Amino acid sequence: MTASSPIALLTDFGLTDPYVGQLRAALTRLAPQSNLLDISHNVEPFGTGQAAFFLAASAPHFPADAVFLCVVDPGVGSGRALIGAELGGQRFLAPDSGLLGLLLSAPGADAARIYDLSATAGTYQASATFHGRDIFAPLAARLATGEPLAALGEALDQSRLVKKPWAAPTMLDGALLCHVLHVDRFGNCVLSLRQDHQLPAEVTGHSPSPGERHRLRLVRTYAQLAPGEGGALGGSQGFYELAANMGSAERLLTLRPGDDVRLLFGEAF
Amino acid sequence: MTASSPIALLTDFGLTDPYVGQLRAALTRLAPQSNLLDISHNVEPFGTGQAAFFLAASAPHFPADAVFLCVVDPGVGSGRALIGAELGGQRFLAPDSGLLGLLLSAPGADAARIYDLSATAGTYQASATFHGRDIFAPLAARLATGEPLAALGEALDQSRLVKKPWAAPTMLDGALLCHVLHVDRFGNCVLSLRQDHQLPAEVTGHSPSPGERHRLRLVRTYAQLAPGEGGALGGSQGFYELAANMGSAERLLTLRPGDDVRLLFGEAF
Amino acid sequence: MTASSPIALLTDFGLTDPYVGQLRAALTRLAPQSNLLDISHNVEPFGTGQAAFFLAASAPHFPADAVFLCVVDPGVGSGRALIGAELGGQRFLAPDSGLLGLLLSAPGADAARIYDLSATAGTYQASATFHGRDIFAPLAARLATGEPLAALGEALDQSRLVKKPWAAPTMLDGALLCHVLHVDRFGNCVLSLRQDHQLPAEVTGHSPSPGERHRLRLVRTYAQLAPGEGGALGGSQGFYELAANMGSAERLLTLRPGDDVRLLFGEAF
C-alpha cells in the first residue's frame, strides 16, 4: 500500500523534450511512494482554455485524494501568482492563468478553498524557466506526502482569481454564445457548455465564418447520426460536443479551438 | 509484491486528449495494485489491422498473467459485441472488430477460449461514447484482481468472431498476396506474413501501383542492405518487414498502411 | 519499498510503434520492482546529438542509483560496441555512437568508469533489429537488481569512445563556434555550450545562412525580452538557449537542429 497520494500531471511540455521526464524524476525523488498519472502533456503551448477543460473533465475520474500538478504557464518568470485549491479532498496546483476556471465553475465548486502559494514558491531555488520541475514538483510532493494545503499559503477569495471569457457561456441576441474548448483526435468539438444544461432536440449552430449555419440534431451516440450529418451530444467529458458519425465535426463545421459558436433554438431553418 | 495482474493498454485515443489519462485513472481506482503498461495509444483512428498487429507482436513479451485492454472501436454505441479471450494465462478484452484476428491465427492459438461479455458489459452505467473508461476498465480490473473470465460471459466459438481479409495471406495467380499492416517510424513496412513462413532468398514484390515491381533480397539485418537497396527480413515483431538500410522502405517502395503487396518467387527479373 | 533501482529510458522509438511498450514489458518481467521512468522516446530517428543533450540535461534530476537505458542506434546489426558507464552511482547503457559524449564532458565526469559490454551482449539470443528489447533490457535489469557493472564487461579508457564534433564548443576566428543540439517545443534553441561558460551581457550570433547576424541580449528569463526580441539565457537544462519572449527563436533566428552558430563578443553591431 502506498502512503502517498497519487499525483496527476497536466502540462503543455509535449512528449519530445525531456521536460516531462525531469518533472517525473523530481517527483519520484521527492515522493517515491506516489503513483504518477498523466492527464496530458500535449496541451497546445500556452493553451489555458484547453487545459482548463482537460482538468475539469478528468478530475472526477481520479482518486479522491489526488494532487493535480498543472503547468500551462504563459507567464513563467513574470510575477503571476501560484495558486492552490482544495475541493472534495483533491488538491490542485496551478498558475493563476485561468486554468482552474472550469473546475471552479462546476456545480458545488464554490465550496473550494483557494490559497495563494506565491510566498512559499519563492523560497525554492529555481531555474528561471522551469518552475514545473523546480517549484511545482516539490510543492506537489509535500501535499502528496501529507502536508496540508493551508500550511503552504494564504487563503484567497475565489473571486480574486483570473477569469477567462470561456469560463461560462452567455446569452447574446437570443443565442447561447459558447466557445470551442478543444477539438479531439476524432474531430469532435468540445463546447464550453456543461451537459447538465438542457438543450432542445434541435439546435442551429453558427460557426464564426459569416453566414455559416448548421442544423445540429441532439443525439445520444455517434451512431445515431447519418454519415456526414452533424450533431450535438452530451459526451463522456461532462461538456457538450459537436460531432459527426465516423467523420470529423471539425471539418464538417469548419471549427477550430478557440472559435466562438452561437447556438439558436426552435428556429425555422 | 502486487497481488493484481498487470494491465496492458492498446487504443487509438492518442496522447493529446485526456482519454488515456481518464482510462488509467479509472484502472488505478479499481485495481490500485496493477501495473499499467501501454502498448500504444497512437493506433490510427479506427485502425483495426494496425492494432491487431501491435497486439499479436507484443503479447509474447508481456507477463504471462497480463490482462490486455484493447479499444479500437469504429462501432462504439452500436450493437457490436464485447469479446473476452484467454490464451496461455493471458486475458484479452476487445470489441468484436477483428482486433484479435492476428493473435488468434498464430500457431497454437486455436487453444484460446473465447467469451461474449456483452451481457455483463450492459450492466454498467456508461457514457454513450467512452466505453473504454466506463466498461472495459471495470471489466479489466475485475480480471486483474482475480475474477475468472468464464464468470463474465458466455463461451463463444472462435469461428463466430468477425474476420478481416488481412488476417492471413493467400495465394493468388502464383503470388503470395499480403497486406501492409503497419509502417513504422523508420519506414519499415510490416507485412501480414508471419516470419515462420519460409521465403526463398530472393523475392519480387509488386506494390499496388500498376507496373511497380521491386527485387527484394532476404536479409537478416538492415546493415546487410546497400544504401538505397530494398529488402525483406524477419524482423523483431514476428512478421516479415520490407526495409531499406538507413532509409525508408515506405518511400523506396511507395507503400502505405493498408496496401496489398504481391510477392513472387524464383522469377527472372 | 522497492529493492530495485529505477530505470530511465531514452530512445528514438517514438510513441506510435509498439517498441517502447515491448521494451517496458521486458523490463517489467525481468526487474518487476524497478520504477520505469521515460526521459523521451521522441528523439529524432538516429539523432545522437539530441539524445546526448537529453541525457546530460536529465541525469542530474534522476535518482542517484538510476540505471539509464539509451538506445539511439544508427548501427544496429553492425559491429558497434555496447558501452556501460558509471558516474556517481548512476549507471548508463548506450551504443558507442557518441550518445554519452555530453554526459562525459561535464565537469567532474572524468571520474566515470567505462566498460565495453559487447562480449556479454553477444551472449543473448536477440532479434537482429531490436537490441533495445532483447539485449539492453536484460542488461539494464541485471544492473537494476544489483549486479555490478564491472562484472558485465571490460574496462575501457574514455578516450577510446566515439567522439562527435558537437561534444564541445571551439574558438574559430575569434568566435565561439557551437551547435544547435535541440529545438524545443516552444522554439528555444539549445546550444552545445554549458551555462557555466561565462558570456558577456551582449553577444552577436551568426546563424549559418550567409550574412544572418542577430544581436542577442543575455537575460535571466523569457519575460525580460521584448516581444520579438531574441536573447540568450542560461536555461533550465544546463546549457545556453537562444530564446524569444512568447515566440519562437527557431523562427526568429531561422535555426534548425544540427546548425552551427558562431557567437561574437564585444563587437559593434
HSE (side-chain half, CA atoms, 13 Å) at A25:
28
Q: What is the DSSP letter of C160?
A: G
Closest-CA distance of chain A to residue B132, Å? 11
**pLDDT tens, N- to C-terminus, chain A (269 residues):** 457 999 999 999 999 999 999 999 999 999 999 999 999 999 999 899 999 999 999 999 999 999 999 999 876 666 789 999 999 999 999 999 999 999 999 999 999 999 999 999 999 988 878 999 999 999 999 999 999 999 999 999 999 999 998 888 998 888 899 999 999 999 999 999 999 888 877 777 776 666 678 888 888 888 888 887 889 999 899 999 999 887 899 998 889 998 989 888 765 44
Count of all residues that appear for chain C in the document: 269
CB contacts of B236 in chain C (<8 Å) are 127-130, 133-134
CA of residue B56 relative to chain centroid, distance: 5
Residue of chain A minimizing CA distance to B35: A35
Mutate to test the interface with A, among C12, C186, C236 (most CBs of A within 10 A): C236
Q: Are A103 and A97 in contact (CB under 8 A)?
A: no
**CA neighbor of A190 nearest in space, from A72, A50, A62, A12:** A50
Candidate from B13, B21, B46 with C-beta closest to A58: B21
* C133: contact with B, CB 8 A cutoff: yes
- Look-up: residue for cell 547503457? C93
Kind plus residue range of the DSSP H or E element containing C71: strand C67-71
Residue of chain A minimizing CA distance to C13: A16
**Residue C56 pLDDT:** 98
CB contacts of B28 in chain A (<8 Å) are 6, 35, 37, 62-63
* B220: contact with C, CB 8 A cutoff: yes
Q: How many CB atoms lie within 10 A of CB B116?
A: 19
Candidate from A17, A25, A46 with C-beta closest to C184: A17
Q: How many CB atoms lie within 10 A of CB A184?
A: 21
What is the residue type of A217? R
Distance CA B198, CA A197 (A): 62
**CA neighbor of A117 nearest in space, from A107, A105, A131:** A131
Q: Are C57 and C8 in contact (CB under 8 A)?
A: no
* A254: contact with C, CB 8 A cutoff: no
Candidate from A45, A129, A134 with C-beta closest to C222: A129
**Cross-chain residue pair A246–B127, CB shorter than 8 Å:** no
Distance CA A243, CA B211 (A): 41
**Cross-chain residue pair B37–C25, CB shorter than 8 Å:** yes
**Residue C230 pLDDT:** 86
- Look-up: residue for cell 531574441? C230
Which residue blocks in chain B are alpha helix, DSSP H?
19-30, 48-58, 101-104, 118-121, 131, 137-144, 249-252
Least confident of B158-162, C219-223, C265-269: C265-269
Distance CA B179, CA B192 (A): 5
Q: How many CB atoms lie within 10 A of CB B10?
A: 26
- Determine what percent of chain C is predicted with pLDDT higher than 70: 94
Q: Coil, helix or strand for C50?
A: helix
Residue of chain A minimizing CA distance to C52: A18
**Cross-chain residue pair A235–B127, CB shorter than 8 Å:** yes
Cα dihedral B247/B251/B254/B258 (nearest 10): 80
The low-confidence residues of chain B, meaning pLDDT below 50, are 1, 268-269
Q: Coil, helix or strand for B101?
A: helix
**Cross-chain residue pair C130–B63, CB shorter than 8 Å:** no
Kind plus residue range of the DSSP H or E element containing C52: helix C48-58
pLDDT higher than threshold 80 for residue C239: yes
Distance CA A261, CA C105 (A): 55
Which residue blocks in C79-166 are alpha helix, DSSP H?
118-121, 131, 137-144
**Residue B1 pLDDT:** 43
Closest-CA distance of chain A to residue C224, Å? 8
Residue of chain B minimizing CA distance to C132: B236
Residue of chain B minimizing CA distance to A183: B17
Count of all residues that appear for chain B in the document: 269
Cβ contacts from A onto B, under 8 A: 84
Distance CA B75, CA B82 (A): 11
Compute the Cα dihedral for A65, A69, A70, A76 and give only its sign.
positive
Task: Say if strands B175-183 and B260-265 run parallel, antiparallel, or are unpaired.
Answer: antiparallel
Phi, then psi, of B170 in degrees rounded to 5: -135, 160
C-alpha cell at B161: 468472431
**Residue A81 pLDDT:** 94
CB contacts of A237 in chain B (<8 Å) are 18, 130
Distance CA B4, CA A83 (A): 37
Subunits close to B (at least 3 CB pairs below 8 A): A, C
- Burial group, residue A45, by CB count within 10 angstroms (0-12, 13-18, 19+): middle
Q: Which residues of A203-227 are buried (b: 16+ CB within 10 A; e: fewer)?
A: bbbbbeeeeeebebeebebbbbbee
* A24: contact with C, CB 8 A cutoff: yes
Candidate from A37, A63, A223 with C-beta closest to B77: A223
Contacts for C131 with CB less than 8 Å, ≥ 6 apart: C71, C73, C76, C82, C121
CB contacts of C246 in chain A (<8 Å) are 46, 74
CB contacts of A128 in chain C (<8 Å) are 220-221, 233, 236
Candidate from B17, B25, B45 with C-beta closest to A40: B17
Distance CA C225, CA C216 (A): 10
Q: Are C92 and C70 in contact (CB under 8 A)?
A: yes
Candidate from C37, C224, C237 with C-beta closest to A28: C37
What is the residue type of A120? T
Distance CA C70, CA C95 (A): 8
**CA neighbor of C128 nearest in space, from A185, A163, B224:** B224
Cβ contacts from B onto C, under 8 A: 84
Subunits close to C (at least 3 CB pairs below 8 A): A, B
**Residue A80 pLDDT:** 85
* C25: contact with B, CB 8 A cutoff: yes
Q: Are C52 and C104 in contact (CB under 8 A)?
A: no
Q: Coil, helix or strand for A38?
A: strand
β-sheet bridge partners, residue C87: C90
CB contacts of A20 in chain B (<8 Å) are none
Phi, then psi, of B216 in degrees rounded to 5: -125, 120
**Residue A268 pLDDT:** 40
Kind plus residue range of the DSSP H or E element containing A172: strand A170-172
* C38: contact with A, CB 8 A cutoff: yes
Count of all residues that appear for chain A in the document: 269
pLDDT in tens, C145-180: 999 999 999 999 999 999 998 888 998 888 899 999
C-alpha cell at B170: 493467400
Distance CA A155, CA C205 (A): 47
Q: What is the DSSP letter of B251?
A: H
Which residue blocks in C84-240 are alpha helix, DSSP H?
118-121, 131, 137-144
Candidate from B22, B76, B77 with C-beta closest to A61: B22
**Residue B269 pLDDT:** 40
Closest-CA distance of chain A to residue C51, Å? 10
What is the residue type of B208? P
pLDDT in tens, C176-209: 999 999 999 999 999 999 998 888 777 777 766 6
Interface list for A 58-97 with C (CB within 8 A): 74-78
* C15: contact with B, CB 8 A cutoff: yes
Q: Coil, helix or strand for C33?
A: coil
Distance CA C47, CA C182 (A): 10
Task: Say if strands C82-87 and C90-95 run parallel, antiparallel, or are unpaired.
Answer: antiparallel
C-alpha cell at A12: 503543455
pLDDT in tens, C105-138: 999 999 999 999 999 999 998 887 899 999 999 9
Closest-CA distance of chain C to residue A15, Å? 7
Q: Are C147 and C160 in contact (CB under 8 A)?
A: no
Mutate to test the interface with B, among C11, C22, C29, C76 (most CBs of B within 10 A): C22
